[in-house]
Structures are given as C-alpha cells and as structure tokens.
C-alpha cells in the first residue's frame, strides 16, 4: 500500500562499486545518517527475478543508510556478481525523502550495466512532483479508509528495520 522504490541491477565493474559506495556515503553525510557496512563472507539473499524466487548464497558487500527515521533503510548490498535487488519504502518519511532516494539512484545510474527502478510514486519515470504529492495523498487516504473498515488494523509499524503499513493489532 505504501509508496516504495524497488531497484535492481548489475554494476559495470569493481571500480563502479567503489564510486557507488562513495556516493552512498556522501548521501548519508548529507542526510546526517550513519553508514552501516554490510561486508560479509557468506550470506543468504532471497530474490525474485521474473516470477521465480532465487536464493543466493555467498559473499556480499555494501552499505546501508537510513534516509529518514520513518523510511526503510537504503540498502546497497551487492553479491559476488555485483548484482543488487532492494527496495526502500518512503511513504512515511515524506516527499523530500522520496526525492532524495530517487535523485541518488539517478546519480548512480551511469555505474550500472542495467539498473531497473520501479517507483510506486512514479517520480523516476516522470519527474512530476505534483503527481508524487497526489500519490502520497491517495495512499494515506487508502490507509485511513482501511483502518475505518477494519478497526483492528493500525499502522504504520516498524518491524526490524522495515516499515509495515498496516497490520492487525493484537487482542
């Protein structure tokens, strides 16, 4: 329900990895966010490619930053083939955070062989901030309507480092 930015792609080279990480660290400084290093010799990642689920087992490298306290983290975690597949929900962080994340993704685009971005706010495709504002308003209205129709629903909630739009309140 909430507005999320999904992205996946493959870097051109190891040098491009270094440049993307430098840009990520610069974004973190701009946003006064800490940088968490994600380098790990062995990790399991679950991915959806097409309609099939794939599991990756192997080394990962990258960073994680928190664009806003009410957003998902922006995770830049690459596998041994320099492939990334991630998402960042910005619905509860606001339009400015959404614009920052999209701007960052556009800034790292030249470092990828391919970077596919699916922006539920449609800013990536349109650069239309008025449309983005309308999408945010509609999503909040849908959440309120769902809460009214089902009194047990509430949200948003933070579950780990991710934001959950709505879920049933415990009895």
DSSP string, 98-137: HHHHHHHHHHHGGGEEEEEEEETT-HHHH--HHHHHHHHH
* Banded model confidence at residue 38, pLDDT cuts 50, 70, 90: very high
23 in any annotated domain: yes
167 in any annotated domain: no
Domain count, the chain: 1
* Banded model confidence at residue 171, pLDDT cuts 50, 70, 90: low
Q: What is the dihedral of CA 68, 131, 3, 63, to 10 degrees?
A: -50
147 with 169: CB under 8 angstroms?
no
In this predicted structure, what is the pLDDT of residue 65? 97
Q: Which range marks the domain in which residue 24 is found? A: 4-126
77 in any annotated domain: yes
158 in any annotated domain: no
142 in any annotated domain: no
Closest CA to 102 of 118, 78, 80: 118
Which range among 11-20, 121-130, 155-164 shows the weakest confidence by mean pLDDT?
155-164
12 in any annotated domain: yes
116 in any annotated domain: yes
146 in any annotated domain: no
* Banded model confidence at residue 109, pLDDT cuts 50, 70, 90: very high
């Amino acid at each position: 329900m909430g507005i999320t930015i999904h992205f996946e792609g493959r870097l051109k080279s190891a040098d491009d990895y270094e440049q993307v990480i430098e840009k990520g660290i610069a974004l973190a400084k701009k946003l006064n966010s800490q940088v968490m290093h994600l380098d790990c010799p062995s990790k399991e990642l679950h991915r959806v490619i097409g309609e099939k689920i794939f599991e990756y087992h192997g080394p990962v490298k990258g960073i994680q930053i928190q664009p806003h306290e009410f957003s998902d983290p922006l995770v830049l975690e690459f596998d041994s083939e320099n492939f990334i597949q991630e998402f960042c929900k910005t619905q509860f962080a606001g339009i400015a955070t959404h614009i920052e994340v999209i701007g960052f993704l556009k800034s790292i685009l030249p470092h990828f062989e391919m970077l596919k971005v699916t922006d539920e706010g449609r800013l990536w495709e349109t650069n239309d901030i008025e449309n983005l504002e309308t999408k945010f308003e509609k999503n909040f209205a849908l959440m309120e309507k769902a809460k009214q129709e089902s009194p047990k629903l509430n949200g948003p909630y933070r579950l780990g480092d991710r934001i959950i739009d709505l879920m049933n309140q415990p009895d």
